[in-house]
Structure 1
Amino acid sequence: MDVGGSLLAVGLLLGHAGLMAGLAPVLLTRGRWRFRRPGLALGLWHVALHSGLAAAAASLAVAMALAAVLVEQQAPPPPGSLSPVQGMVLAWVAITVAGVAAVVVSTQSHRIACEEARTRRLLGALVAERGIHRTVADSMVITVVESERALACALPGRLPGGSGARHRVVVSSGLARALTPAELRAVMQHELAHLRLHHPVLVRLARLNAACLPLLPGARELHRVTGLLVELIADDAAARRCGSAPLARALTTIGTREGDESMLLRAERLRRSPVPPPRPRRPLLWSPQRATAAGR
């Protein structure tokens, strides 16, 4: 093994990892471009974070291989083979690193999965207790629950019973009464976009990165910005289907009722930079008036 070349490779890989960990969060949190192109911003975040992690892992592998060679430099092994000591060093290093990583990732994954399962159980209990209407429309099972709050959320997973729907959306009766049919349709498309674009997976991955790498600024910042960026991406997807104006009005209504300033800012973003008008589509065969009337 070329010692000089190996040291250069380790330095370059560590430099790339440090650049991604230190500089990328600074660059990716500046400027208004990330609000205009949230999908691009989120993609660049993942490229920076995971390429940095890959470079760090590669530098460790090269360094360990170089260390093993230096240990045996007085008695070089036959060409193309490893000595027993080299093999033992590499094996134990690989086992140790893989074992520690597996324990950390599995522990944090289990914790996050338990929290998400608890949230789903609570929401399921709410639907069972307060659900007043359920219908299937546009590949969604839409359930209205009795509540004066203006709330809507999406749950992945196909329901049993042969409904054919792939996703579940829960909406409060207060929201159904507060919005016009066009506005509520835009909210439904926003929630459906989260599921179609696999946003729960991206949010879970960001949480896992932050939990496993709490000292890495990039992992913490990715966790912070993922929640905002997936909302902006879903806003744009819904606006392309239903128009920016109905969604902006819906966000304004929800933000005002719930005291959520972020929704008001998202509505202002859609008003200032509207998404191009949608192409004609088959209408969503559901209306808030029909849903709330059925629950009375």
Structure 2
Amino acid sequence: MTYAVHHLVTLALAWAAGAVMARSRWSVRAPRTGVLIWQAVALTAIMSLVGVALAVGLSPYRLGVVPALARFAADGWAGSLPAGMSAGHLLAVGAGVGLAGWLLAAFGLTCRALAGLRRRQRTLLRLVARPDPGAHEALVVEHPAVAAYCVPGRQATIVLSTGTLGLLHADELAAVLAHERAHVKERHDLALLPFTVLERAFPWIPAVRLMRRQVAALVEMRADDRAARAHGRTSLSSALRRFRASDRLPSPAGTLGGAEGDIDARLDRLTTPTRTSLPLRTLLLSTALTVASTPLSLFLLPM
């Protein structure tokens, strides 16, 4: 039961860290570090939640969760569970295994859904999109809405609408394309995947939706930073202002013009750039990774 308490403590720490991150402004100044810390928070919370149930249920074995679970499976198959294994212990083991199975199922379903969506997008693009000399290797779709987005994957594709080409100047277009290439190069779709899985598994929990929105905003800011380094903050800021002020059809959700996150906040940080110091970022990330590793060690150490 001692390790169950430890799991509860790490779960509480993860919850507190998430609350601090949700209100913190430093992550806006260091979005990549912010994404990594959000991932550590999510991993800690899930492992601690599963760990609490399994630590309670497997406590008669006095082993780490993983070896105890293996012993439990062998004993169950042989029909010789320990004398101290009560119905309450069995219920706790079932809850822990069930939660882990639910998350794995959500992961599989999410990956399948995303793969299917991207296949359909690529199929449609082959039918309606065309290359354009002014789009610099991006595909162009005839549509008046202002939109720029990427279809991630091994064969990633950047897509622009004709509304975007007609709206932006050459330097602004270059900055927008650099923004989308940053998403492709850093595989921001994979950074978002764990939070998409959690939202699918626990759609009724507001904190899960909040985490996904926060990470979605941070990856947009990270892509802004890479684009600004290559083409200047002025060009990217100007493009975002044009997207926001455009009176054409609304930008579709998931595109640069309709990206998740507050465009005003992104413009503010581009206009008045500030950075979190490297020592502070290193300290915060090290602390988050240390907390995240705690439930993992509790899965292996004797109870």
TM-score (normalizing by structure 1):
0.70
1:181 aligns with 2:197: no
User: What is the match of residue 128 of structure 2?
Assistant: 130
Out of 190, 194, 206, the residue aligned to residue 205 of structure 1 is 194
User: What is the match of residue 35 of structure 2?
Assistant: 42
How many angstroms does 1:86 deviate by?
Answer: 2.8
1:24 aligns with 2:9: no
Structure 1 Cα separation of the partners of residues 53 and 124 of structure 2: 49
Unaligned runs of 5+ in 2: 63-74, 252-257, 276-303
How many angstroms does 1:148 deviate by?
Answer: 1.6
Once the two structures are overlaid, the 10-residue window that deviates more, 182-191 or 122-131, is 122-131
1:271 aligns with 2:274: no
Report the CA distance shift for 1:88/1:97 in structure 2 as closer, same or farther (over 3 A): farther
Report the CA distance shift for 1:225/1:247 in structure 2 as closer, same or farther (over 3 A): same
Report the CA distance shift for 1:87/1:156 in structure 2 as closer, same or farther (over 3 A): farther
User: What is the match of residue 245 of structure 2?
Assistant: 256
How many angstroms does 1:63 deviate by?
Answer: 2.3
Q: % of aligned pairs identical? A: 23
Report the CA distance shift for 1:176/1:103 in structure 2 as closer, same or farther (over 3 A): same
Report the residue type matching 2:12 in the other structure: G
Report the CA distance shift for 1:158/1:217 in structure 2 as closer, same or farther (over 3 A): closer
Unaligned runs of 5+ in 1: 1-6, 70-81, 160-166, 276-296
TM-score (normalizing by structure 2):
0.68
User: What is the match of residue 285 of structure 1?
Assistant: none
Within a 5 Å distance, the mapping from 1:53-92 to structure 2 comes to: 53-68=46-61, 84-86=80-82
Deviation above 6 Å: which 4+ runs of structure 1? 90-95
SS in 2 for 1:132: strand
Whether the aligned pair in 2 keeps the contact of 1:142 and 1:169 (CA below 8 Å) is yes
User: What is the match of residue 196 of structure 1?
Assistant: 185
How many angstroms does 1:141 deviate by?
Answer: 4.3
Structure 1 Cα separation of the partners of residues 24 and 93 of structure 2: 43
Cα displacement string for residues 31-57 of structure 1 (whole angstroms, at most 9, x for unaligned residues)? 322221222222221212212322333
Equivalent pairs, count: 247
SS in 1 for 2:12: helix
User: What is the match of residue 224 of structure 2?
Assistant: 235
Report the CA distance shift for 1:117/1:14 in structure 2 as closer, same or farther (over 3 A): same
Structure 2 Cα separation of the partners of residues 15 and 191 of structure 1: 40
How many angstroms does 1:98 deviate by?
Answer: 7.1
Report the CA distance shift for 1:123/1:145 in structure 2 as closer, same or farther (over 3 A): same
Report the CA distance shift for 1:219/1:265 in structure 2 as closer, same or farther (over 3 A): closer
Report the CA distance shift for 1:34/1:131 in structure 2 as closer, same or farther (over 3 A): same
Once the two structures are overlaid, the 10-residue window that deviates more, 49-58 or 181-190, is 49-58
How many angstroms does 1:191 deviate by?
Answer: 0.7
Structure 1 Cα separation of the partners of residues 119 and 98 of structure 2: 32
Q: Which has the larger radius of gyration?
A: 1
